[in-house]
């Protein structure tokens, strides 16, 4: 029987055995990167990661800013609506107070009707024919006592009309008419303020 062992003296040079590639091609060795290449790769990966993170963060900030802008716009609209509502409510309150004060002032000082009458009379041309002054009966008595000379001088006819509320008057001539009733004057005030409403509400 022969031995498979080769004595050491018969061996020449030693060569390490390596497994060849399974696909039949020879195996190639991959050179290891240098320290500079590793550092460059590290820097490039860091910069790419930083740029991607910065872009993602910037996009999120822009999304949040857009959301905040929408909220601010909605809040601004709500505040404007609130201001408008508050303004209208304050105007309504002021008009109600003014109406009550005017009624009370006319009750306490009925002579306040005199400037209204003078303004209405003076707004007509002097050549007006057949002038008539319609007043509430209580105001008519006051005007007769305080303005008798003026009315006689201009030949005004005083007519008592209970449909005319105290503090107002109607002036009528052949060619024109002036409605200086409280209701009509109040409507003119409301129109000037962009409102609607009636004196007796």
pLDDT digits (tens, 9 = 90+) for 152-195: 887 888 999 999 988 888 988 888 888 888 888 888 888 888 87
**Mean of the pLDDT values across residues 19-32?**
67
Rounded distance between C-alpha atoms, residue 31 and residue 54, angstroms? 35
Measured from the Cβ of residue 151, the count of other Cβ atoms closer than 10 Å reads: 18
Residue 200: pLDDT over 80: no
Q: For 42-79, how does the pLDDT look when each residue is reduced to its tens digit (9 = 90+)?
A: 999 899 989 999 999 999 999 999 999 999 998 888 88
Name residue 187's beta-bridge partners.
none
> Residue 137 phi/psi, 5° resolution?
-55, -40
Report whether 173 contacts 128 (CB < 8 A): yes
> Residue 156 to residues 9, 72, 118: CA-CA distances in angstroms?
160, 65, 12
Query: Left, alpha or beta for 20 (phi > 0: left; psi -120 to 50: alpha)?
Result: beta
Determine contact, residues 145/170, Cβ cutoff 8 Å.
Answer: no
Instruction: Give pLDDT tens digits for 67-117.
Output: 999 999 988 888 889 888 888 888 888 878 877 887 777 778 888 888 888
* Cα–Cα distance, 67 to 73 (Å, whole number): 10
- Give me the pLDDT at residue 7, please: 72
Question: pLDDT at position 174, please?
Answer: 82
Q: Supply the pLDDT for residue 55.
A: 92
pLDDT per position as a tens digit, 122-145: 787 765 677 888 999 999 998 888
């Amino acid at each position: 029987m022969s031995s498979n062992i080769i004595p050491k003296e018969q061996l020449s040079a030693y060569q390490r055995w390596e497994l060849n590639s399974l696909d039949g091609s020879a195996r190639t060795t991959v050179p290891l990167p240098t320290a500079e290449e590793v550092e460059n790769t590290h820097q490039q990966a860091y910069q790419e990661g930083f740029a991607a993170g910065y872009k993602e963060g910037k996009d999120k900030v822009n999304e949040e800013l857009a959301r905040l802008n929408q909220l601010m716009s909605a809040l601004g609209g709500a505040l404007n609506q609130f201001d408008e509502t508050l303004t209208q409510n304050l105007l309504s309150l002021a008009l109600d107070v003014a109406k009550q004060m005017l009624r009370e002032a006319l009750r306490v000082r009925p002579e306040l009707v005199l400037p209204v009458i003078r303004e209405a009379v003076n707004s007509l041309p002097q050549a007006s024919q057949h002038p008539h002054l319609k007043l509430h009966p209580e105001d008519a008595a006051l005007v007769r006592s305080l303005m008798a000379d003026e009315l006689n001088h201009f030949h005004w006819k005083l007519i008592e009309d209970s449909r005319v509320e105290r503090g107002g008057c109607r002036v009528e001539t052949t060619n024109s008419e002036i409605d200086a009733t409280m209701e009509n004057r109040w409507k003119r005030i409301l129109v000037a303020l962009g409102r609607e409403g009636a004196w007796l509400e």
